[in-house]
């Protein structure tokens, strides 16, 4: 029997005035509360409560035990609060993962602000354009841009990114602006293989998902090189919106075919469900979620 949990249950029964109310307060079932109380009384060898259909009343032994339980629970809470207070100055290390460009553009500013406020913390950044296995690579927290299926992860949504087609104004003036997805067949394209591993791009026309073959003038697995090729006017490019939004805002690139984009891709802050959140991890996750939710990725 979990003696500490049984003490908490007993105190809650007395405070709430009934076993049913205690079960509700503890977010458990009435049979569970009944079983815990019976086990506690059996282990102590005394009756703690007189129970009728209408009310409960402490026995003499129950009143004495209640006083001791409250003292023990209070001392435990004080010990926890003291530990939390001691840990108020966060210290230790965290390992944080993200894709390369997203990490550089959005995670690094969060990390920098966090470390400035917590000088005894250190953070190991793992940026890569492959999906990191949190458990195998000992990553505490990561940002994932994907529709997640891994139920072993706690995933906190922070935003969405779009798949956007873009090009320079000069390229569009010389080659025409595509009006519908099928127009892409007439254009040269810059294919970032991290987003389009095959020579086709995907769109949504009404309720239909369609695939359009593309003619790759340049194909590259590295995002900065792919962006440079597009900025140099070598063709239309398909990228995630966070990758090109600053270039759109600065006038270097222009979005086209926006009405035919597929559904946005969710962005999550994730950590392993099995992880017990330390104060430092809890603080970083909270800050990362808050700041990323204030950021636009399109």
Domain assignment present for residue 121? The answer is yes
pLDDT band at 16 (very low <50, low <70, confident <90, very high): confident
Question: 232 and 270 share a domain?
Answer: no
What average pLDDT score do residues 132-156 get? Answer: 83
Question: 147 and 106 share a domain?
Answer: yes
What average pLDDT score do residues 20-42 get? Answer: 90
The domain boundary, picked from 56, 86, 116, lies at: 86
Question: 171 and 119 share a domain?
Answer: no
Express each pLDDT in 54-101 by its tens digit.
Answer: 788 899 999 999 888 988 888 887 677 666 655 567 888 999 999 999
Question: 202 and 126 share a domain?
Answer: no
Question: 249 and 174 share a domain?
Answer: yes
Could you give the CA distance from residue 39 to residue 131 in angstroms, rounded to a whole number?
A: 48
- Which CATH number is 96's domain given? 3.40.190.10
Question: 250 and 167 share a domain?
Answer: yes
What DSSP assignment string belongs to the chain? --HHHHHHHHHHHHHHSSHHHHHHHTTS-HHHHHHHHHHHHHHHTS--EEE-SS-EEE-HHHHHHHHHHHHHHHHHHHHHHHHHHHTTS--EEEEEEE-HHHIIIIIHHHHHHHHHH-TTEEEEEEE-SS---TTTTT-SEEEEES----TTEEEEEEEEE-EEEEE-HHHHHHH----SGGGGGGSEEEEETTT-SSSEEEEEETTEEEEEE-EEEEEES-HHHHHHHHHTTSSEEEEEHHHHHHHHHTTS-EEE-GGGPPPPEEEEEEEETT----HHHHHHHHHHHHHHHT----
Domain assignment present for residue 298? The answer is no
Residue 228 confidence (pLDDT) above 90: yes
Residue 52 confidence (pLDDT) above 90: no
Express each pLDDT in 162-210 by its tens digit.
Answer: 999 999 999 999 999 999 999 999 999 999 999 999 999 999 999 999 9
Question: 105 and 184 share a domain?
Answer: no
Beta-carbon count within 10 A of 197 CB: 11
What average pLDDT score do residues 255-277 get? Answer: 88
The domain boundary, picked from 86, 111, 133, lies at: 86
Question: 242 and 176 share a domain?
Answer: yes
Domain assignment present for residue 122? The answer is yes
Question: 22 and 82 share a domain?
Answer: yes
- Position 237 scores a pLDDT of 97
- Which CATH number is 37's domain given? 1.10.10.10
Could you give the CA distance from residue 126 to residue 99 in angstroms, rounded to a whole number?
A: 8
Question: 196 and 270 share a domain?
Answer: no
| Cβ atoms of residues 59 and 50 within 8 Å | yes
- Which CATH number is 252's domain given? 3.40.190.290
The domain boundary, picked from 28, 60, 86, lies at: 86
> Which structural domain range is residue 232 located in?
163-260
Question: 154 and 275 share a domain?
Answer: yes
The number of distinct structural domains making up the chain is 3
Domain assignment present for residue 8? The answer is yes
Domain assignment present for residue 132? The answer is yes
Domain assignment present for residue 14? The answer is yes
Question: 74 and 123 share a domain?
Answer: no
- Position 289 scores a pLDDT of 96
- Position 75 scores a pLDDT of 80
pLDDT band at 121 (very low <50, low <70, confident <90, very high): very high
């Amino acid at each position: 029997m979990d003696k500490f949990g049984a003490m908490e249950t007993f105190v809650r029964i007395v405070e709430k005035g009934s076993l049913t109310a205690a079960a509700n307060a503890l977010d458990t079932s009435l049979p569970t509360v009944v079983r815990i109380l019976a086990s506690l009384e059996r282990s102590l060898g005394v009756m703690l409560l007189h129970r009728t259909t209408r009310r409960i009343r402490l026995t003499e032994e129950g009143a004495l035990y209640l006083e001791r339980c409250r003292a023990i629970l209070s001392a435990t809470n004080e010990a926890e609060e003291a530990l939390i207070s001691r840990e108020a100055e966060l210290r230790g290390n965290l390992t944080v993962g993200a894709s390369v460009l997203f990490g550089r553009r959005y995670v690094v500013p969060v990390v920098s602000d966090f470390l400035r406020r917590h000088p005894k913390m250190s953070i190991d950044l793992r940026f890569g354009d492959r999906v990191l296995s949190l458990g195998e690579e000992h990553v505490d927290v990561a940002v994932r841009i994907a529709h997640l299926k891994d139920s072993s992860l706690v995933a906190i949504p922070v935003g969405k990114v779009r798949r956007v087609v873009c090009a320079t104004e000069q390229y569009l003036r010389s080659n025409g602006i595509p009006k519908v997805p099928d127009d892409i067949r007439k254009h040269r394209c810059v294919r970032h293989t991290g987003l389009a591993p095959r020579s086709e791009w995907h769109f949504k026309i009404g309720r239909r998902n369609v695939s359009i073959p593309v003619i790759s003038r340049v194909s590259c697995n590295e995002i900065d090189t792919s962006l440079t090729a597009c900025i140099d006017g070598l063709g239309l490019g398909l990228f995630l919106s966070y990758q090109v939004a600053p270039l759109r805002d600065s006038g270097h690139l222009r979005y086209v075919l926006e009405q035919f984009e597929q559904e946005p891709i969710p962005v999550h802050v994730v950590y392993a469900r099995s992880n017990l959140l330390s104060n430092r991890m809890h603080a970083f996750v909270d800050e990362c979620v808050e700041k990323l939710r204030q950021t636009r990725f399109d």
